[in-house]
Amino acid sequence: MELEAQWWTGQLAADIHQALRYKELKLPSYKGQSPQLHLRRYFADLIAIVSNRFRLCPAARHLAVYLLDLFMDRYDISIQQLHVVALSCLLLASKFEEKEDSVPKLEQLNSLGCMTNMNLVLTKQNLLHMELLLLETFQWNLCLPTAAHFIDYYLSIAVHETDLHDGWPMVCLEKTKLYMAKYADYFLEVSLQDHAFLSYAPSLVATACVASSRIILRLSPTWPTRLHHLTAYSWDFLVPCIERLLIAHDNDVKEANKQKGQHAQSAQHTVFQTPAPTPQQANAQQHIPYLQAHQSSLQYHHQTSQQQNCQQISSNHTTSYPLQTCPAALQSSVQARGHVQTGAAMSLAVPLEVKPCISVSYNRSYQVNGRYSCITPCFER
């Protein structure tokens, strides 16, 4: 653990972060003009399922979805061919991000249920042809930063022993870091479901995932100076992306509560007496007003967190970005390409959403469709 902490605070990690921030300024523009845009959610879910089945890293999964988004944005592709394209994107991403032993084999891909249902069989020649087409489309450049490439660097200082939980000191720092990592992973996967997040820079999405996790875990100050300094994003610049993430979170909580209510009703038909609520259900109901309130009071969280008389943390991380709203280079790129959202007032079109026909389990311990308690019962005092 100590060696890992030293690596994240070292100069090499800072240099890699700086290089990724530079590369994200040159990412291809995404216009959202694919004729199959309404199917995008389904194929993003498909990539997530297959990547989880083969235990691929989050960076490979996010890179595969990003390659699919860019390719769909440029070509009109049939639904059957989209299955081949999605799996080819996952193969390329896994070859770029994973070890050779972890890359899925052709026989394994052909055994997938989606392939048999569509009566599709991948051949080595067709797969090579598709991979070459993808590589030519991206000019043989697969070094495309995604939010998954930034999240670990930001999580390294996302929680500090001087942070407060509900105004109280934290009892177990390691448990807090564990919950922070799980919630950050959850929000990271939420960002894959909506192509509207492609309007933000990947580093901004990763930063918003950390900030949203701090809000859900009720840590204060909500956006400490150390994270502002490391990410070079101010709170006001993050608010639009945070709002999208928290709205998705609230929808998941509502869906989870709805499913619990349905299970309770079915149980009442079979058992004549109503059982007492479990501690998890009571905990979820207790925090529902908070989840409903944080959408309209993000600015309030920030103001109250600044009023906390707690010690400001001076980060040991070194970064070339000044402590300001956004790096000047990033701002100039925003004005030039319009790729990154620059203002809180800008509204993005809500995408056409197809109800996914696949049951998705994204993370190692999370289901995006709900079934998790909205507030983790940590920091017992």
Rounded to two decimals, the pTM is: 0.68
Distance CA 167, CA 218 (A): 9
Distance CA 66, CA 84 (A): 15
Q: Which residue has the tokens 């929808």?
A: 251
Distance CA 157, CA 317 (A): 9
**Amino acid 24: pLDDT:** 93
**Amino acid 2: pLDDT:** 65
Q: Which residue has the tokens 């040991």?
A: 316
Distance CA 381, CA 379 (A): 6
Q: Are 250 and 216 in contact (CB under 8 A)?
A: no
Does the pLDDT value for residue 85 go beyond 50? Answer: yes
Pick from 380, 317, 367, 379: which is nearest to 182 by CA?
A: 367
Instruction: Give mean pLDDT, residues 235-263.
Output: 90
Instruction: Give mean pLDDT, residues 209-228.
Output: 93
**Amino acid 183: pLDDT:** 95
Instruction: Give mean pLDDT, residues 73-102.
Output: 89
pLDDT band with cut points at 50, 70 and 90 for residue 34: confident
Distance CA 127, CA 140 (A): 16
**Amino acid 95: pLDDT:** 93
> Does a cis peptide bond (omega within 30 degrees of 0) precede residue 221?
yes
Instruction: Give mean pLDDT, residues 170-196.
Output: 92
**Amino acid 1: pLDDT:** 59
pLDDT band with cut points at 50, 70 and 90 for residue 270: low
Higher-pLDDT residue of 182, 324: 182
Instruction: Give mean pLDDT, residues 230-259.
Output: 92
pLDDT over 70, % of the chain? 69
What tokens does 245 get?
Answer: 């993430």
Q: Are 244 and 194 in contact (CB under 8 A)?
A: yes
Residue 63's φ and ψ, nearest 5 degrees, are: -65, -40
Instruction: Give mean pLDDT, residues 283-311.
Output: 42
Pick from 146, 138, 148, 149: which is nearest to 73 by CA?
A: 138
DSSP conformational letter for 16? H
pLDDT band with cut points at 50, 70 and 90 for residue 219: very high
Average pLDDT taken over every residue of the chain = 74
Instruction: Give mean pLDDT, residues 281-300.
Output: 44
Most confident of 32-36, 86-90, 111-115, 260-264: 86-90
Q: Which residue has the tokens 């993430």?
A: 245
Q: Are 188 and 241 in contact (CB under 8 A)?
A: no
Does the pLDDT value for residue 361 go beyond 90? Answer: no
Q: Which residue has the tokens 């199917």?
A: 39
pLDDT band with cut points at 50, 70 and 90 for residue 269: low
Distance CA 294, CA 318 (A): 32
Residue 220's φ and ψ, nearest 5 degrees, are: -135, 145
**Amino acid 301: pLDDT:** 45
Q: Name all domains of the chain by residue range, CATH numbers in brackets.
A: 29-143 (1.10.472.10), 148-246 (1.10.472)
Distance CA 183, CA 186 (A): 5
Pick from 231, 260, 234: which is nearest to 147 by CA?
A: 231
Pick from 380, 314, 11, 378: which is nearest to 181 by CA?
A: 378
Largest CA distance in the chain: 66
pLDDT band with cut points at 50, 70 and 90 for residue 70: very high
Instruction: Give mean pLDDT, residues 36-48.
Output: 91
Please name the helix (run of DSSP H) or strand (run of DSSP E) that holds residue 219, with its range, or none: strand 219-220
Does the pLDDT value for residue 378 go beyond 80? Answer: no
Higher-pLDDT residue of 112, 175: 175
Residue 165's φ and ψ, nearest 5 degrees, are: -115, 115
**Amino acid 7: pLDDT:** 74
Does the pLDDT value for residue 205 go beyond 50? Answer: yes
pLDDT in tens, 103-150: 888 888 888 877 777 777 888 888 889 999 999 999 898 999 999 999
CA 243 to chain CA centroid, nearest Å: 14
Does the pLDDT value for residue 254 go beyond 80? Answer: yes
Instruction: Report the half-sphere exposure of 164 (CA within 13 A, side-chain side).
Output: 15
Question: CA of 336: how far to CAs of 18, 23, 182, 339, in Å?
Answer: 20, 15, 36, 8
Residue 168's φ and ψ, nearest 5 degrees, are: -115, 150
DSSP conformational letter for 339? -
Higher-pLDDT residue of 158, 349: 158
Burial class (CB in 10 A: 0-12, 13-18, 19+), 142: middle
**Amino acid 353: pLDDT:** 34
**Amino acid 260: pLDDT:** 83
Helix axes 173-193, 148-155, angle to 10 degrees: 160
Higher-pLDDT residue of 217, 308: 217
Q: Which of 87-101, 104-118, 148-162, 337-351 has the lowest mean pLDDT?
A: 337-351
Instruction: Give mean pLDDT, residues 5-22.
Output: 86
Q: Are 170 and 381 in contact (CB under 8 A)?
A: no
